[in-house]
Copies of this chain bind each other. A is one copy, B any other.
Amino acid sequence: MAVRVSVIGASGYGGAEAVRLLATHPEVRLAHVTAEAQKGRPIADLYPNLRGFVDLVTEPLDATAIGGDSDLVIVSLPSGKAMEIVPELLERGARVIDVAADFRLRDPSLYPAWYSFTHTAPRYLAEAVYGLPELHRAAIRPARLVANPGCYPAAALLALTPLVRAGVVRRTGIVIDAKSGVSGAGRGGAAGGHGFSEANEDVRAYAIPGHAHTAEIEQELSGQAGGAGAAGDVRVTFAPHLVPMTRGILVTAYAPLARRLTTPEALGLYREAYAAEPFVRVLPDGALPQTKATLGSNYCDVAVRVDARAEMAIAIAAIDNLGKGAAGQAVQNLNLMLGLPEAAGLRVPALYP
């Protein structure tokens, strides 16, 4: 019997991508989709790709009703909104995957500093599992509440984890330069310089320094940094950029070497770390990641190079920000939580070209 899944915030790009993936998921039945600002409309009017696939009409957000009528709820609201409804969803018996940042940081004091809000449901932070299966698969399976990673952190962590875990790079001086497609700004982000005319034929940096995803990256990398690893142990400079494409994130991470390392040795660390991963592809020698090879998919392509002259490791990861960076990742977590095959509904190659 199909699992009943609801998507809260289905009019945003992340939520709509989750609906798209669930619409053809073999084990899932979509129960409810909500869209506060556009309720009462067929979701296929908002997302015309869904015509012929999903007949649901967007509902208002009633956490009590939806929580009681769903096995699992994917919450895709702006950061700061999920914490207001997740307790009720859990209370009603639903398991929850939050696609925003509300349950990613374990230390509640980080929210005022990085997100400018005070957490209203801090007791759930200890319970929440950071939903990157490559780091926390075992904990995700039984979790009631999974915090889906941010789009930038998903790519940055998959790029850097093998180096940090192996202790071959320093814990400070790490630079993460990220290039994102414009859909990362959300459907509402169309104003404010993200209109086509100004985002097209343009590259710009933004939120430098101090983007909120820095905290999440440091928390998780510190956790991977081994015995001595504590929160704040790893320090990174994170710089996001907007590039004129719709989907995709390319992260280029630069980590000063802690000891001598060759490119083949580095590559060996990645092959080992990701040998059994269904959605991480370590590229063969000679190839570098490109976002197009992941477009519309849940895959992450990674490569690593050592710049011996400069004693620097360079790790590169490409994802679809709405795939492995959001909705694809959420479905992978859903599969783990529900005991389904991890790749159910996700074994689709990217579009290329």
A: residues with CB less than 8 A from B are 13, 16, 20, 23-24, 45, 47-53, 172-173, 175, 177, 179, 181-183, 185, 187, 189-192, 194-206, 208-210, 235-237, 239, 241, 243-248, 250, 252, 254, 256, 281, 283-284, 287-297, 299, 301, 305-307, 309-312, 314, 316, 318, 347-353
A157 to chain B, nearest CB (A): 17
Give the oligomeric copy count: 4
Beyond the given pairs A20-B352, A51-B283, 14 more chain A to chain B contacts, judged by CB atoms under 8 angstroms and listed by A's residue number, are: A48-B283, A49-B349, A173-B256, A177-B252, A182-B196, A189-B195, A190-B196, A196-B199, A198-B292, A201-B201, A201-B291, A205-B250, A208-B314, A235-B309
For this complex, 23 residue pairs linking A to B, each with C-beta atoms less than 8 Å apart, are A24-B347, A24-B349, A50-B349, A51-B281, A53-B349, A173-B256, A173-B310, A173-B312, A175-B175, A183-B197, A187-B195, A190-B197, A197-B353, A200-B244, A200-B245, A200-B353, A201-B245, A204-B288, A204-B291, A208-B307, A209-B307, A239-B252, A243-B243
The listed residue (B50, B312, B352) touching A47 by CB distance below 8 A is: B352
Q: Is the CB of B246 within 8 A of A243?
A: no
When A254-B254, A310-B237 are in contact, do A290 and B202 touch as well, CB less than 8 Å? yes
From A236, which residue of chain B is reached at the shortest CB distance? B310
Query: Shortest Cβ distance from A261 into chain B, in angstroms?
Result: 13
Distance of A8 Cα from B289 Cα, bound (Å): 27
The answer for the CA separation of A293 and B353 in the assembled complex, in Å, is: 17
Residues of B within 8 A of A175 (CB): 175, 177, 254, 312
Q: In the complex the two chains form, what is the Cα distance from A243 to B202 in whole Å? A: 9
Known pairs A173-B256, A204-B289, A348-B348; A198 contacts B52 (CB<8 A): no
> Would you list the 10 A-B pairs with minimal beta carbon distance, nearest first?
A190-B195, A204-B290, A209-B307, A48-B293, A202-B292, A49-B352, A49-B350, A197-B353, A177-B177, A196-B199
Q: Which residues from chain B contact A252 at a C-beta distance below 8 Å?
A: 177, 205, 208, 239, 241
Q: In the bound complex, how far is the Cα of B296 from the Cα of A297, in angstroms?
A: 12
Specify which chain B residues have a CB less than 8 angstroms from the CB of A191 in the assembled complex: 190-191, 195
Tell me the nearest residue of chain B to A282, going by C-beta. B51
Cβ contacts under 8 Å, A209 to chain B:
305-307, 309-310, 312, 314
A163 CB to closest chain B CB, in angstroms? 15
Determine the chain B residues whose CB is within 8 A of the CB of A301 once the complex forms: 48, 51
Q: Provide the bound-state CA to CA distance between A175 and B23, in Å.
A: 38
Enumerate chain B residues within 8 angstroms of A237, measured Cβ to Cβ: 254, 307, 310, 312, 314
Q: How far is the CB of A309 from chain B (nearest CB, A)?
A: 7
- CB-based contact A246/B353 at 8 Å: yes
Q: Cα distance A172–B256 when bound, in Å?
A: 10
CB within 8 Å for A352 and B16 given contacts A194-B190, A194-B195, A250-B203: yes
CA distance A114 to B250 in the complex (A): 27
Q: Which residue of B lies closest to A248 (CB)?
A: B203
Residue in chain B with minimal CB distance to A254: B175
A90 vs chain B, min Cβ distance (A): 30
